[in-house]
Amino acid sequence: MRIVVLTGAGISAESGVPTFRDADGLWEGHSVDDVATPEGFERDPDLVQRFYDARRRAVASVVPNAAHHALARLERAFGDELLVVTQNVDDLHERAGTRNLVHMHGELQRALCAACGARPVWDADLEPRPPCPVCGERMLRPDVVWFGEMPYDLDRIEDAVVACDVFASIGTSGSVYPAAGYVALASACGAWTVELNLEPSDALIPFDDARAGWAGELVPAWVDELVTARG
Ligand code: APR
């Protein structure tokens, strides 16, 4: 049984990582335009570097929660039949043990070199403008996909969504495309669709199974059902 799980900020909320839209549109005191667009980076690169440096340090100080661990357990049971597609830039899925994972909006734990395109693993601050380990230029930025930029691995994601038998959406408001369109694509291709979210998202089509609650409770229970049914 092929499963695609799409996750958003809500799966990391119980680990202490702030979501985007629960903060009244302000993202830790900043407007999205200032810290999540190429124009904002152009306007004030130091502000943007400091913002992501702070988020990178904050994520290093929190741990995966029961929902992340449940998805790692699901991968141990289903192997390559499972793909986790996350909109999150934290590394909590990896730290819980998930391997079949796509970060469609990039990763705080990588930098992107604007000079040579390298995407080195990165855990230090970028504000001091360190040299790129590949080309030496001091043009590293966070490897985070900003609004107006192309998300990563879209072909691989769409192939998996089209082919899956079960599509689950966990902890996402379903307000940013292309991620928000995957449930409709999966459903049109015959998949059973499940939403595990604090409140019903504004998805265009209804999920076959929509469960409201905390990811830390809903996800382990849902994984138990799948693993038990698999025998
Ligand atoms: N358990 C389950 N769901 C939760 C929890 C929780 N503990 N806490 C919050 N949620 C839900 C909220 O109800 C909301 O529907 O998670 C969702 C979080 O939505 P957003 O804050 O919009 O985050 P997300 O959907 O991941 O945003 C998508 O938008 O800002 C861009 O690139 C950014 O990747 C991000 C994208």
Asked if 25 and 91 sit in the same domain, the reply is no
For ligand 1, atom 34, the nearest C-alpha belongs to 87
Asked if 93 and 116 sit in the same domain, the reply is no
Asked if 123 and 175 sit in the same domain, the reply is no
Each residue's pLDDT tens digit, 114-173: 999 999 999 999 999 999 999 999 999 999 999 999 999 999 999 999 999 999 999 999
Asked if 140 and 181 sit in the same domain, the reply is no
Give yes or no: 69 in active site: no
**Average pLDDT of the chain to the nearest whole number:** 94
Which of the listed residues 21, 149, 182, 218 should we mutate to test ligand 1's pocket, taking the one with most ligand atoms within 8 A of CB? Answer: 21
pLDDT bucket at 228, cuts 50 / 70 / 90: very high
Asked if 12 and 25 sit in the same domain, the reply is no
What domain range is 22 assigned to?
18-61+106-144
For ligand 1, atom 10, the nearest C-alpha belongs to 10
Whichever domain contains 191, its CATH number is: 3.40.50.1220
Asked if 139 and 79 sit in the same domain, the reply is no
Q: Which atom of ligand 1 lies closest to the CA of 67?
A: 1
Asked if 10 and 112 sit in the same domain, the reply is no
| DSSP per position, 29-81 | TEEHHHHSSHHHHHH-HHHHHHHHHHHHHHHHTS---HHHHHHHHHHHHHGGG
| Residue finishing a domain among 118, 144, 170 | 144
Whichever domain contains 138, its CATH number is: 3.30.1600.10
Asked if 196 and 155 sit in the same domain, the reply is yes
Asked if 126 and 204 sit in the same domain, the reply is no
Q: Which atom of ligand 1 lies closest to the CA of 144?
A: 32
**Residue 19 φ/ψ, nearest 5 degrees:** -80, 180
Q: What is the pLDDT of residue 20?
A: 75
Ligand 1: centre distance to CA 132 (Å): 32
| Residue finishing a domain among 88, 117, 144 | 144
CA dihedral 99→170→191→163, nearest 10 degrees, is -30
Cα(156)–Cα(165) distance, integer angstroms: 16
| Domain total of the chain | 2
Asked if 72 and 115 sit in the same domain, the reply is no
Cα(44)–Cα(48) distance, integer angstroms: 7
Query: Which amino acids bring their CB within 6 angstroms of ligand 1?
Result: 8-10, 13-14, 19-22, 87, 105, 171-173, 175-176, 197-199, 201, 214-215
Each residue's pLDDT tens digit, 167-196: 999 999 998 999 999 999 999 999 999 999
The separation between the first and the last C-alpha atoms of the chain, rounded to the nearest angstrom, is 13
Q: What is the pLDDT of residue 200?
A: 86
Each residue's pLDDT tens digit, 21-60: 665 545 767 888 999 999 999 999 999 999 999 999 999 9
Asked if 186 and 207 sit in the same domain, the reply is yes
Cα(140)–Cα(113) distance, integer angstroms: 4
Asked if 131 and 202 sit in the same domain, the reply is no
